[in-house]
């Protein structure tokens, strides 16, 4: 059985995970077998290594620190139940991203049904590709008035992005904000490259269109 400490994820654990190096050979087949056999130490290492990355993704998808932390724990609980079916078609991080995204979708739909407005935080630096965000949020050492305007634009962008359908919001967050490769995103979202590129293009177009209405 896995130990309960695997799921005691707080600020200290997330901070440690975010700064952790590649201390574990987490892609080794022997390590995966340890996970599948119920090795508590192996699972603790999985949590330590990837909880920071998963938290960052979920925070950007939800815009809520507390909810993101809850979803991190949901993600690893789901991973614990599903590890026996891990086939190695993708690496463990991509597999965990897929689970995290599904957990986020479920939570997001739950809140949507209750008409709770959420925002997606874009405080972090953007991806290294051409992005609609760079022109919108570019800030060259603003004075207080410019800073206020920048924050207003950012809030508008957050709300607009949050209103996009999942099929557009998720690729934009993963590619333009998280900086994942096409291959990683295709595996995480279970899409073919053509569909991913189409959704990115249409999502960016829809985002620009909605922003232009303000």
Q: Give residues with Cβ within 8 angstroms of 27, minimum separation 6.
A: 91, 92
Determine the Cα–Cα distance for residues 122 and 54; give it in Å rounded to an integer.
16
Q: At the topology level of CATH, where does 4-113 sit?
A: Rna Polymerase Sigma Factor; Chain: A (1.10.1740)
Query: Which class is 132-212 in CATH?
Result: mainly alpha
DSSP character for 121?
-
pLDDT, residue 22, reads 44
Determine the Cα–Cα distance for residues 8 and 6; give it in Å rounded to an integer.
6
pLDDT, residue 61, reads 83
By the 8 A CB rule, do 49 and 28 touch? no
pLDDT, residue 153, reads 75
Determine the Cα–Cα distance for residues 110 and 103; give it in Å rounded to an integer.
11
pLDDT, residue 177, reads 80
Given a cut of 70, the residues of the chain with pLDDT beneath it are: 1-28, 108-143, 214
All CATH 1.10.10.10 domain ranges of the chain, comma separated, are 132-212
All CATH 1.10.1740.10 domain ranges of the chain, comma separated, are 4-113
Tokens linked to 58: 């979920």
């Amino acid at each position: 059985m896995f130990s309960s400490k695997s799921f005691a994820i707080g600020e200290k654990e997330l901070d440690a995970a975010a700064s952790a190096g590649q201390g574990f050979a987490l892609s080794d087949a022997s390590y995966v077998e340890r996970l599948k056999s119920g090795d508590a130490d192996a699972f603790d290492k999985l949590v330590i290594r990837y909880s920071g990355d998963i938290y960052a993704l979920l925070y950007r998808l939800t815009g809520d620190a507390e909810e993101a932390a809850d979803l991190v724990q949901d993600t690893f609980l789901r991973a614990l139940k599903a590890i026996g079916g891990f086939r190695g078609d993708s690496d463990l991080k991509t597999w965990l991203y897929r689970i995290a995204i599904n957990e986020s979708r479920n939570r997001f739909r739950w809140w949507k049904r209750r008409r709770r407005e959420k925002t997606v935080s874009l405080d972090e630096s953007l991806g290294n590709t051409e992005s609609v965000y760079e022109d919108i949020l570019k800030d060259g050492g603003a004075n207080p008035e410019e800073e206020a305007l920048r924050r207003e634009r950012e809030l508008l962008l957050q709300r607009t992005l949050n209103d996009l359908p999942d099929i557009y919001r998720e690729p934009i967050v993963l590619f333009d904000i998280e900086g994942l490769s096409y291959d990683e995103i295709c595996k995480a979202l279970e899409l073919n490259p053509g569909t991913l590129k189409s959704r990115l293009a249409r999502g960016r177009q829809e985002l620009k269109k909605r922003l232009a209405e303000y």
